Amino acid sequence: MTLIHCGIGYFCRLYIMYAIFKKEVQQFFSSLVGYIAIIVFLLVLGLFVWVFPDVNILDSGYATLDSFFAIAPYIFIFLIPAITMRSFAEEINTGTIELLTTRPVTEIQIILGKYFAALLLVFVAIIPTFIYFVTIYFLSSPVGNVDVGGILGSYFGLFFLGAVFVAIGIFCSSITSNQIVAFMVGVFLCFFLYLAFDYISQFGIFAGKSDYLVESFGLGAHYNAMGKGVIDSRDVVYFLSFIAFFILLTRTILSRRRW
């Protein structure tokens, strides 16, 4: 009987987590937030990849998506905090966070419900850009003369980078009731963790391998490494560790609200 009760309790918690996930997804797409996020992402990237001079594919003469994968992280730095800023900040502001945290569900399940909802939106935004890959595949001469491994690796890197930014954005939303503050802190942290270590390493403060070590702490270094077409387990573990770290930080913030 104990095992049966434990099993029922486990599935009840999973159901509540799914309900949170479903609620978040519905909120994204029942308002303009989800659609605007996807449209802005695709529009800005489309302009850089196909329209703006000097950086678009047609002017470069090469069948590559380098400009796409170079610009996408910077758009994510602003876009993802805008998506996640309301996740907990709105709950805190309206007082519904107390109701949520007193339900028979753990903090981790609450966080994961909101996390996977935002991550789904990021995934949905990335999927249409595969048309860019198909386009350059057929525009190349001869047809198919593209670095398929490098492009697919870059897509994996972009998804993992987006997953880290979502975890950061969720954390920033949990520390304040003000969505604008959550957005600004999220943008700062995403920007800092993506670029700061690379800039520090270029100053030459440290000698030799130490500069490379400092650079390897940044998200950008591991994102670029995946863009070479090799999915290294160290890069995957690095991204997953960052995600787990910020989810646990968010859990710590929510745990304090129970007291």
The pLDDT score that the predictor gives to residue 204 is 57
Q: Give 100-135 pLDDT, tens digit per residue.
A: 766 667 888 889 999 999 999 999 999 999 988 888
The pLDDT score that the predictor gives to residue 224 is 87
pTM: 0.89
What's at 4, amino acid-wise? I
The pLDDT score that the predictor gives to residue 4 is 55
* Cα distance between residue 232 and residue 11, in whole Å: 35
* Cα distance between residue 166 and residue 126, in whole Å: 14
Report residues of the chain scoring pLDDT below 50. 1, 3, 5, 259
The pLDDT score that the predictor gives to residue 46 is 85
Distance of CA 12 to the CA centre of its chain: 28
The pLDDT score that the predictor gives to residue 10 is 58
- DSSP states along the chain: -HHHHHHHHHHHHHHHHHHHHHHHHHHHHHSSHHHHHHHHHHHHHHIIIIISTTTSHHHHTS---HHHHHHHHHHHHHHHHHHHTTTTHHHHHHTHHHHHHTSSS-HHHHHHHHHHHHHHHHHHHHGGGHHHHHHHHHHSSSTT-S-HHHHHHHHHHHHHHHHHHHHHHHHHHHT-S-HHHHHHHHHHHHHIIIIIHHHHHHTT-S-THHHHHHHHTSHHHHHHHHTTT---HHHHHHHHHHHHHHHHHHHHHHHHHT-
The pLDDT score that the predictor gives to residue 229 is 74
The pLDDT score that the predictor gives to residue 214 is 65
What's at 247, amino acid-wise? I
The pLDDT score that the predictor gives to residue 186 is 95
Domain boundaries, the chain: 2-257
Which residue in this structure is represented by tokens 């519904």? 96
SS (H, E, C) 138-185: HHCCCCCCCCHHHHHHHHHHHHHHHHHHHHHHHHHHHCCCCHHHHHHH
